[in-house]
Structure 1
Amino acid sequence: MRGERTYGAPRGGRTVRGRRGAVAALAAVVAGAALATGCGIRSTSVPVDAGAAPSRMPCRTASEAAATAPPPESVSVRIYLVCASQLVTVERTVEIDESRSDPLLVAQALLGELQGEPDSDERRAGFSTDVPAGLRVSAARKGDPAGTLRLSEQPDDLPAEALAQVVCSYADNESLGSGGSVMLGGPGKYTPRGYLCTSETKSRPGEVPTLGALELS
């Protein structure tokens, strides 16, 4: 009929479209949650303990399994390096004339190995050394107890790990140590002391580097 106005969709149509939009949005959220679950993603407020991370420092070198006899006029020795905050032995080959049986030569050779930078294989395994490059060792002085070795620095003035390395490397060598101990002195007239290498020294060198040190009369 002429004059009648044609109106658009009733207001109720808007409500229907609004409900349909809400339903579609809810369906999208549910689908997204299902997809995340399918990808293995968990939502939780509780921390999950996956255990300790695998160690990158096994403190074991590849050359250990391929150890061979030392060349002529050389001997195989053990020294202590630092690895994972502990003392761990490594095998080294040094040139020493065993026929001379001079403990000082052995002490100097071991000290030189302790001061040297670990090779690439040892570094990859986590080994390091704290023994100062300038440290020197000399023979006993007159009046020193038998077997004393004199260092160019007072033993107790060395870094804790360095002293533990020297003590255990010397104490474990049969030509230098006795019963797991070694006699060490420093410069000057200070009385030498006996240092004992124990299992605790090896496991915690930074805390007990002089454990078992014995004063001599």
Structure 2
Amino acid sequence: MMRSEHRGRRPAAAVAGAVLCAVLAAGCGIRTTSVPVDAGPAPSRVPCAMTAQDGTAQPRQVIPVEVYLVCAAQLVTVDRTLQVQGTKPDRLGVAVALLDELRRKPTGPEQRAGFSTDVPSELRVTGPRAGDPKGALRLSRQPEDLQPEALAQIVCTYTESEELVQNGPVLLGGPGDYAPRGYLCTAETKARPKAAPTLGAVRLS
């Protein structure tokens, strides 16, 4: 009699245990399923952060400069800032940035003050060719073919840039086969830029 009672209690206990597990699972928000589920590895504790990508842009350096514009038939400096790549300015990059400033139309306040520029908007500058003197720059037009004021603006802006010239002439050439020439910016160049387009120019030996 005792054995039959024990046999009857075991199935009942098993059913009760299964019901209890189902209730606990439902209370935790877990849906029961008869299909095995692979939830993957445990979530990482590393915070969401992007690693640096290869080829990211180099930091830009801001350089205060002075460029020469035309005002009252003379050359007068205006303050500008250049943004160049890297911590050490690239010489050609500075030459390009300065020419961009000279080609750009003066700002509203500059125009109202009487400033203008004669540097052509399509003018470009590149580095030296094979056989050119070290530090030479090549314009997309022959320097002597430019308007006198435009050439004077370029020469004075370049010669007074510490990144381009150190106490000497700026070496300018054009797209032709002519050798570059050394151009100096003098007080007379600034005072009378239209008088002589190559004032202060010296041929290189």
Same fold (TM over 0.5): yes
Letter aligned with residue 175 of structure 1: E
Matches within 5 A, 1:102-121: 102-121=90-109
Q: Tell me if structure 1 keeps the 8 A contact 2:182–2:204.
A: yes
Which of 123, 141, 144 aligns to 1:135? It is: 123
> Who is 1:194 aligned against?
182
Q: Tell me if structure 2 keeps the 8 A contact 1:74–1:97.
A: no
> Who is 2:202 aligned against?
214
Extract structure 1 runs of 4+ deviating beyond 3 A.
none
Aligned equivalents of 2:89, 2:108: Cα separation in 1: 32
> How many residues of Structure 1 are paired with residues of Structure 2 in the alignment?
146
Give ranges in structure 2 of 5+ residues lacking alignment: 1-59
Matches within 5 A, 1:1-217: 73-97=61-85, 99-217=87-205
Q: Tell me if structure 2 keeps the 8 A contact 1:96–1:106.
A: yes
Letter aligned with residue 116 of structure 2: S
Q: Tell me if structure 1 keeps the 8 A contact 2:189–2:200.
A: no
SS at match of 2:182: strand
Aligned equivalents of 1:123, 1:84: Cα separation in 2: 12
Distance 1:120 1:137, change over 3 A: same
SS at match of 2:87: helix
TM-score, structure 1 normalization: 0.65
Give ranges in structure 1 of 5+ residues lacking alignment: 1-71
Question: How many percent of aligned residue pairs carry the same amino acid?
Answer: 59
TM-score, structure 2 normalization: 0.69
Aligned equivalents of 1:210, 1:199: Cα separation in 2: 14
Letter aligned with residue 183 of structure 1: L
Deviation at residue 180 of structure 1 after TM alignment: 4.6
What per-residue deviation string (whole Å, max 9, x for no partner) do you get for residues 122-150 of structure 1?
01110000000000000001111111000
Q: Tell me if structure 2 keeps the 8 A contact 1:81–1:165.
A: yes
Distance 1:99 1:215, change over 3 A: same
Aligned equivalents of 2:112, 2:159: Cα separation in 1: 27
What per-residue deviation string (whole Å, max 9, x for no partner) do you get for residues 35-85 of structure 1?
xxxxxxxxxxxxxxxxxxxxxxxxxxxxxxxxxxxxx72111110000000
Of 198-207 and 98-107, more deviation after overlay is shown by: 98-107
Larger-Rg structure = 2
> Who is 1:49 aligned against?
none
